[in-house]
Amino acid sequence: MKEFTEEQAKEELNRKQQKFSPKDFAKLIAKGDVLKNKFKTRKKLSKFVKDFKVLFAMVKDYYKGNYKKVPWYIISSIGATLLYVLLPTDAVPDFIPFVGYIDDATIFSLCLKIANTEVKNYLKWKEENTQDNQNPIPN
């Protein structure tokens, strides 16, 4: 099997991002535990567990109306990326041994690059708006 390139990841993310709509939020939020489990148990994704938690919290805060200071392009890119990770039959099907999650990890990494500045802004906002002795991002 050929390598999943960053260029392919850009094309796939762009395609998925353009299709992401506000109605997709509920589906994404409902699958939070499934996503968290994938990030914790899949080798290619496990290095992104902390990043996943931040992005998922950001999407939830946006959906609930708590944090709207992020452009739609960024929030839809994050949402599309997380939905992509949920799909077992994406560009490289997850059931293929050793390589099944390469595309997921590549797209997730690309999303982190795209959203980097907005994630920093979100974390600053989250810290400023979290009560004392409370972790701003849930475990």
The CA distances from residue 53 to 2, 50, 83, 85, 123, in Å, are 30, 5, 14, 14, 11
How much is the mean pLDDT over the chain?
Answer: 85
- DSSP 8-state class, residue 3: -
The angle formed by the CA atoms of residues 85, 4 and 1, to the nearest 5 degrees, is 110
Q: Is the pLDDT of residue 89 over 80?
A: no
Look-up of token digits 């949920």: 86
Task: Give which of 53, 51, 71 is closest to 62, Cα–Cα.
Answer: 71
Average pLDDT value for residue range 97-123: 85
CA–CA dist 103, 2 (Å, integer): 11
Q: At what angle do helices 49-64 and 32-41 cross, to 10 degrees?
A: 170
CA–CA dist 134, 130 (Å, integer): 7
- Judge whether 122 and 116 are in contact, CB under 8 Å: no
More confident residue, 137 or 94: 137
pLDDT range class, residue 97, cuts 50, 70, 90:
very low
Residue 136 has a pLDDT of 65
> Identity (one letter) of the amino acid at 7?
E
Task: Give which of 66, 68, 108, 64 is closest to 84, Cα–Cα.
Answer: 108
Q: What does the block give as tokens for 64?
A: 């609930």
Dump pLDDT digits (tens) for 48-73: 999 999 999 999 999 999 999 999 99
Q: Is the pLDDT of residue 44 over 50?
A: yes
Average pLDDT value for residue range 9-24: 90
